[in-house]
Chain A
Amino acid sequence: MAVFYSLSYRWQKKRYGKAATKTPLAGIYQATAPASRSLMRENRFLVVDCEMSGLDASRSQLLSIGWVVIENARISHASGKHLLIHADRGAGESTRIHGLHDATIAGAKSAAAAITLLAKQVPGSVLVFHHAPLDLRFLQQTAYDNFRCPLLFGYVDTMLIEQRRLQLQGAESGLRLAQCRERYGLPPISGHHNAMTDARATAELLLAQTSYLGGAGRVSLGRMGIQCSRHQYVRGV
């Protein structure tokens, strides 16, 4: 896994490095990959959660991105950001879930601006998602739509970490964020869900998981199952 991560990272850097110059993603391609042997405590993590108008990246779109930073195995509360994104086609079906109405989204950032702001945070960071594939699909789609090149980063998935832990214990339990948190004695998420509160909730889950994996001073990125983001092109413009 670890070998694959670093090969994949290098290959993609080579493949899209040139295309990324003169785009806001250039900085990402100049950065070096976080070493899979480095420890949790030594790394900066950018915990990200996205809200979308649906589940299909070819027909739905990003509505908001929330993130928060972990450094020295501590979540910096002030680092939290919540970006709302213009909805080209209206928020549609999922507004009832997320509580994001067209009216609130009006005056928010463009998708390009949101990706640009996110890209600034990426160099030198390991990204964290709970159930990464879905968020990645939308982020890469949006990045490619706007800049003709994907984002590049190493990331860990708290859902995968949990899945592996449960497999080792031979247990079968829910993997939803709230269910995972409950197993670590983390408090219920207060208020309604949005990208920001879920990013914070995921960050706390990661701290709990790594505490159980042996502590931030002993768990390596490899052990956390670091992977490299891939280009996922689904939809033409």
Chain B
Amino acid sequence: MVAETNDVQNFIAVQALFQHLAESNLEYLSNNIYVAYQKSGGELEVGTGEAKPVGLVMVRSGSLEIRDAQQNLIDRLSAGDFFIPRVLAQAPAEMIVRVLEDCLYYELSESAFQSIRSNDEDISRLCDTYARSYQADASKSENAPAPAVRKQHAFTDSYLDQSVKDYMTAPAFCASPNITIRRAAQIMTNNKISSLLITEDERLVGIMTDRDLRTRVVAKGVADTEPVSGVMTPKPHCIDMRGRLHQAQLVMMSSGIHHLPVVDRDVPVGMLGMSDIMRANNLEPLSLTRGINNATTVTELAAVAAKLPDLVVKLIERDTRPYEVGEIITSLSDALTRRLLRLAETVYGKPPCTWAWLAFGSQARQEQMLGSDQDNALIYANNADDSADAYFAPFARFVNDGLDVCGIHRCPGDIMASNPKWRMTLAGWQQTFNYWIQERSPKALMHASIFFDMRPVAGDLELVNHLRGYVLAKARSNTIFLALMTQNALEHSPPLGFFKQFVLEKDGDHNHTLDLKKRGTITIVDIARNYSLAAAISEVNTISRLQAMERAGVMSRELVASLVDAHEFIAGIRLQAQGEKFHAGDTVDNQLDPKTLSPLVRHQLKEAFQLVRQAQAAMKARFGGGVL
């Protein structure tokens, strides 16, 4: 015998799945490989009942596609890509592997596959990811209408999966707005409830709570013979019965209420109280929130906040959808901020004027991830004078420092309320935005784009609503501004050529990593922001913006659905990578080594990037003309 390399071993040695293996392992693998061929149009068997079971199939040349029984395309494979027959056989739907182009393929025996899998952590992890993505993907397809049904099985046992419907108090107690205040109080007393829904033609028009009775009736001396419509809270926040508990929690926390009407398409069906959420689970997001709200010093607060990364890792492990993780992290950041503002008030006394604390960027969009830093500012009512700013300077520094101690680090660009530049009256802010919109320099906009995502975290919400209305009205009518924003957004482009070098990486010494934020999620965030500015959409969250864009008719339903999917997919990979980095004790950032991706995920990522390119092209066609 002659020691020699051979085609099989040479080939598998440079594939993503195996390229880290030692020579001896590669030899072991190639000795357990069986080479087979199928002409185009033929099918590969994925049955498990064979005498020599196959653990893994890798394409050597040609291409394959995997479809489910309904002919929906699940995956396409070309040279170097693999599939695991057992995973296909156990997928929820029946899978068919068809040859697109004459295909030479390698079958790795089940025993060798299991042996390498149990001995090599990387391969084991990749295969687990592959199997999971397959399970998740089997129900998805080209034509699947509702991505919302995906992954539902993944967190059935967690608090997050609990739908509002299962925890609300039903039926809802409703009354007409014409009944007297006394009658309303009687209904509430008789039924031992602390809030009453006011409906007209079955539709929710208001809510009356114990607190309303105290503050708007008794304290103000309103006669109890007046109609309830005069003292109720009109157009209350509500949540659809199909919503999730954590969403309800967000609504309650952000609007400072303890009762949330539950509706089924505008018709009240029940009521959800903070206590119902407590009852659902004393799980981390809530116990953390409670910890935050009970903290009386920054040190105590920091101790609670230190548990946040662990919570996020747990959420990732439970396959929580990325936008939900973003919402949960953001809700905790918001809670931290509010608590710090409270603590600041106890230190510096009551603020001298009406004010609001603004969040920008990812916190505003409710898309914070681990490692997101602060972007915030203060806005005062127009009647604030210099003494107000003198009060808020140390106040803001206290909060910014506090957040930093709690792990939400200071903004490297100094976009923080402690910077005097970012403490202004409403009029001052309007002027600043006006300048950005009129200023015809993309540089100024690059700096400014972060400000166009804004959300009030605490204080007087009306101030921020005013500002937002002003900005949207100004932006919408300025085509040159929109063109520049578009040009600016196109500077972040998804990397398409990137993966072509994938197999060659072992030879070169390139250390390719991919910035999943800059090259991935941000591209979609930019698209959603631009369209929202153009169509005066007041939503801030990217997914909500995209959905509002569809409703407003500024983007097609298909493109919106695809972008929502792409955003979720890229954010999911980013989150997964962050979780793994945290686990490994590495710095949590947005970089990803694409070598760690399975071919399937790689393929999907490629498709997601392609889609973003299309959307960018459409955006350029729509707004780009303003530059000329």
Spell out A's residues near B (CB within 8 Å). Answer: 72-78, 80-84, 184-187, 189-191, 194, 196-197, 200, 203-204, 207-208, 211-212, 215
User: Within the assembled complex, what's the spacing in Å between the Cα atoms of A187 and B62?
Assistant: 9
Instruction: Judge whether A77 and B39 touch: CB under 8 Å.
Output: no
Instruction: Judge whether A186 and B61 touch: CB under 8 Å.
Output: yes
Q: Which of B174-213 contact A (CB under 8 A)?
A: none
Q: What is the total number of residues of chain B having a CB less than 8 Å from a CB of chain A?
A: 29
Instruction: Judge whether B102 and A207 touch: CB under 8 Å.
Output: no
A13 → chain B closest CB, angstroms: 32
A107 → chain B closest CB, angstroms: 10
A200 and B1 in contact, given A208-B37, A208-B102, A212-B39 (Cβ under 8 angstroms): no
Which of A77, A83, A185, A189 touches B34 (beta carbons < 8 Å)? A77
A200 → chain B closest CB, angstroms: 7
Instruction: Judge whether B5 and A74 touch: CB under 8 Å.
Output: no
Instruction: Judge whether B33 and A185 touch: CB under 8 Å.
Output: no
User: Within the assembled complex, what's the spacing in Å between the Cα atoms of A186 and B424?
Assistant: 70
Instruction: Judge whether B5 and A211 touch: CB under 8 Å.
Output: no
Instruction: Judge whether B5 and A84 touch: CB under 8 Å.
Output: no
15 example contacts (A-B, Cβ-Cβ < 8 A) are as follows A74-B35, A75-B34, A77-B31, A77-B34, A78-B32, A84-B2, A185-B62, A185-B104, A186-B104, A187-B61, A200-B6, A204-B35, A208-B102, A211-B37, A215-B42
User: Within the assembled complex, what's the spacing in Å between the Cα atoms of A83 and B52?
Assistant: 29
Instruction: Judge whether B33 and A77 touch: CB under 8 Å.
Output: yes
Q: Which residues of chain B are near A76, meaning CB under 8 Å?
A: 34
B506 → chain A closest CB, angstroms: 16
Instruction: Judge whether B37 and A207 touch: CB under 8 Å.
Output: yes
Instruction: Judge whether A185 and B102 touch: CB under 8 Å.
Output: yes
User: Within the assembled complex, what's the spacing in Å between the Cα atoms of A78 and B106?
Assistant: 13
Q: Which residue of chain A is the closest to B61 with respect to CB atoms? A: A187
User: Within the assembled complex, what's the spacing in Å between the Cα atoms of A84 and B37?
Assistant: 29
Q: Which residue of chain B is the closest to A73 with respect to CB atoms? A: B36
A77 and B4 in contact, given A204-B104, A215-B42 (Cβ under 8 angstroms): no
Instruction: Judge whether B8 and A77 touch: CB under 8 Å.
Output: yes
B7 interface residue, CB < 8 Å from A? yes
A131 → chain B closest CB, angstroms: 21
User: Within the assembled complex, what's the spacing in Å between the Cα atoms of A77 and B10?
Assistant: 13
B544 → chain A closest CB, angstroms: 48
B38 interface residue, CB < 8 Å from A? yes
B334 interface residue, CB < 8 Å from A? no
Which of B31, B38, B60 touches A211 (beta carbons < 8 Å)? B38
A80 and B36 in contact, given A72-B52, A204-B104 (Cβ under 8 angstroms): no
Q: Which residues of chain B are near A203, meaning CB under 8 Å?
A: 35
Instruction: Judge whether B42 and A77 touch: CB under 8 Å.
Output: no
User: Within the assembled complex, what's the spacing in Å between the Cα atoms of A83 and B4?
Assistant: 12
Q: Which of B85-140 contact A (CB under 8 A)?
A: 101-104, 107
Instruction: Judge whether A77 and B35 touch: CB under 8 Å.
Output: yes
Instruction: Judge whether B7 and A82 touch: CB under 8 Å.
Output: no
Instruction: Judge whether A191 and B7 touch: CB under 8 Å.
Output: yes
User: Within the assembled complex, what's the spacing in Å between the Cα atoms of A81 and B7?
Assistant: 14
Q: Which of B1-32 contact A (CB under 8 A)?
A: 1-2, 4-8, 10, 30-32
Instruction: Judge whether A75 and B61 touch: CB under 8 Å.
Output: no
Which of A73, A81, A185, A187 touches B1 (beta carbons < 8 Å)? A81
Q: Which of B31-61 contact A (CB under 8 A)?
A: 31-40, 42, 52, 60-61
Q: Which residues of chain B are near A77, meaning CB under 8 Å?
A: 6, 8, 30-35
Number of A-B contacts (CB under 8 A): 79
User: Within the assembled complex, what's the spacing in Å between the Cα atoms of A186 and B34?
Assistant: 16
User: Within the assembled complex, what's the spacing in Å between the Cα atoms of A65 and B38?
Assistant: 28
User: Within the assembled complex, what's the spacing in Å between the Cα atoms of A172 and B1?
Assistant: 39
A156 → chain B closest CB, angstroms: 16
Instruction: Judge whether B32 and A185 touch: CB under 8 Å.
Output: no
Given contacts A194-B4, A197-B7, 17 further A-B contacts (CB under 8 A): A74-B107, A75-B36, A77-B6, A77-B32, A77-B35, A82-B4, A184-B37, A184-B102, A185-B40, A185-B101, A186-B102, A189-B7, A200-B7, A203-B35, A208-B104, A211-B38, A211-B42
A185 and B61 in contact, given A80-B6, A84-B2, A190-B7 (Cβ under 8 angstroms): yes
User: Within the assembled complex, what's the spacing in Å between the Cα atoms of A107 and B107?
Assistant: 35
Q: Which residues of chain A are near B107, meaning CB under 8 Å?
A: 74
B58 → chain A closest CB, angstroms: 12
Q: Which residue of chain B is the closest to A210 with respect to CB atoms? A: B37
Q: Which residue of chain A is the closest to B103 with respect to CB atoms? A: A185
Instruction: Judge whether A74 and B36 touch: CB under 8 Å.
Output: yes
Q: Which residues of chain A are near B40, meaning CB under 8 Å?
A: 185
Q: Which residues of chain B are near A212, meaning CB under 8 Å?
A: 39
User: Within the assembled complex, what's the spacing in Å between the Cα atoms of A76 and B35?
Assistant: 7
B97 → chain A closest CB, angstroms: 15
A82 and B35 in contact, given A72-B52, A77-B30, A187-B104 (Cβ under 8 angstroms): no
User: Within the assembled complex, what's the spacing in Å between the Cα atoms of A72 and B31?
Assistant: 17
User: Within the assembled complex, what's the spacing in Å between the Cα atoms of A203 and B52?
Assistant: 20
7 closest Cβ pairs, A-B complex: A185-B102, A207-B37, A75-B35, A74-B34, A78-B31, A187-B61, A211-B39
Instruction: Judge whether B4 and A207 touch: CB under 8 Å.
Output: no
Instruction: Judge whether A196 and B4 touch: CB under 8 Å.
Output: yes
Which of B6, B62, B102, B103 touches A196 (beta carbons < 8 Å)? B6
Q: Which residues of chain B are near A84, meaning CB under 8 Å?
A: 2
A43 → chain B closest CB, angstroms: 15
B101 → chain A closest CB, angstroms: 6
User: Within the assembled complex, what's the spacing in Å between the Cα atoms of A186 and B37?
Assistant: 9
B106 → chain A closest CB, angstroms: 8
User: Within the assembled complex, what's the spacing in Å between the Cα atoms of A204 and B34?
Assistant: 11
Q: Which residues of chain A are near B6, meaning CB under 8 Å?
A: 77, 80, 196-197, 200
Q: Which residues of chain A are near B10, meaning CB under 8 Å?
A: 190-191
Instruction: Judge whether B2 and A187 touch: CB under 8 Å.
Output: no
User: Within the assembled complex, what's the spacing in Å between the Cα atoms of A207 and B35?
Assistant: 9
Interface centre among B1, B10, B31, B37 (most CB of A within 10 A): B37
Q: Which residues of chain B are near A187, meaning CB under 8 Å?
A: 7, 60-61, 104
Instruction: Judge whether A207 and B61 touch: CB under 8 Å.
Output: no
B105 → chain A closest CB, angstroms: 10
Q: Which residues of chain A are near B38, meaning CB under 8 Å?
A: 211
A100 → chain B closest CB, angstroms: 10
Q: Which residues of chain B are near A73, meaning CB under 8 Å?
A: 36
User: Within the assembled complex, what's the spacing in Å between the Cα atoms of A184 and B62?
Assistant: 10
Q: Which residue of chain B is the closest to A80 with respect to CB atoms? A: B6
Q: Which residues of chain A are near B34, meaning CB under 8 Å?
A: 74-77
Instruction: Judge whether B35 and A191 touch: CB under 8 Å.
Output: no
Q: Which residues of chain B are near A191, meaning CB under 8 Å?
A: 5, 7, 10
Q: Which residues of chain B are near A72, meaning CB under 8 Å?
A: 52
User: Within the assembled complex, what's the spacing in Å between the Cα atoms of A184 and B103?
Assistant: 9
User: Within the assembled complex, what's the spacing in Å between the Cα atoms of A116 and B34?
Assistant: 26
Q: Which of B229-273 contact A (CB under 8 A)?
A: none
